[in-house]
Amino acid sequence: MRKKKLQVGILSMTSCEGCCFALLDAAEKYLELFNEADFSFFRLWKPEEELSLKKFDICFVEGSPITKHNIEQLKIARQNSKILASFGTCAHLGGIYHLKNYYNKDEIIKKVYTETKGIDNPYIYPISHYVKVDFDVPTCPIDVKEFLRMINEIIIGRLPKIPQHTVCYDCQKNGYECVLQKGEICLGPITQTGCNAVCLKSKQGCWGCRGLIKDAEVENLTKLLKKKHATKEIKDALEIFGIRDFI
């Protein structure tokens, strides 16, 4: 008798849904998962049903919990899931929306809306602020190869883990030019690996979208960067994806 398929949900909150499109763009690789997993809740793939009626072996949460509805849905997903994981940087760290936390949010909203009455304007937090998260699928957008590895580990009954190497490990392994040695800001030495140093491939310094590596040497990197960069420049880089909050 064929074993029961893994029941998988992908809950999208406030986001560009780039992580979801990255998964769909994998085409055949994504479809191969159907032999082992049933994506029973995924609005870019099939019409959504009532979330409260669904039960998941694992639910991936994408986007930032910004609205009251987002937060309610997130808590329902946690209640109805054996395993819950963040899906991309917005859910994992707070994402681009998180930038407003470093400024006056009441002034920021006026730059976006002419009429602000009735618009939710909370501080932005990662989903772990509201619910227990069992593991993270980092990066902006997600790396599909990493996601496929992780979900296959879930299928065989193992909780995924991210290797604790820095982005510099991938960068040097691939033979890319070190932009840090050129005097540019790069957070590669404190950011956990797994993206294959994709930004460095384009000679763009790492902005930390995968989050801090365990025991990150933040102070050492900051001292190095201060030799050529103002404190504000360094803070700006740390704020892009919200990595500053974890320092």
Do residues 150 and 87 lie in contact, with contact meaning Cβ atoms separated by under 8 Å?
Answer: no
Interval 37-64 mean pLDDT: 91
Per-residue pLDDT tens over the stretch 211-237: 999 999 999 999 999 999 999 999 999
28 vs 217: which has the higher pLDDT: 217
Per-residue pLDDT tens over the stretch 167-185: 999 999 999 999 999 999 9
Q: 56 has which bridge partners?
A: 81
Q: Is the pLDDT of residue 24 over 50?
A: yes
Angle (CA) 53 67 120, round 5°: 150
Break the chain into its structural domains and give their ranges: 6-155, 167-246
Instruction: Out of 3.40.50.700, 3.40.50.12780, 3.10.20.90, 3.90.226.10, select the CATH number for domain 6-155.
Output: 3.40.50.700
Per-residue pLDDT tens over the stretch 100-156: 999 998 999 999 899 998 888 899 999 999 999 999 999 999 999 999 999 999 988
Q: In the prediction, which pLDDT does 29 show? A: 83
Per-residue pLDDT tens over the stretch 148-159: 999 999 988 999
pTM: 0.92
Across the chain, mean pLDDT equals 92
The span from the CA of 15 to the CA of 13, in Å, is: 6
Residue 2 pLDDT grade (very low, low, confident, very high; cuts 50, 70, 90): very low
Do residues 195 and 141 lie in contact, with contact meaning Cβ atoms separated by under 8 Å?
Answer: no
Count helices and strands (H / E) in the chain. Answer: 10, 5
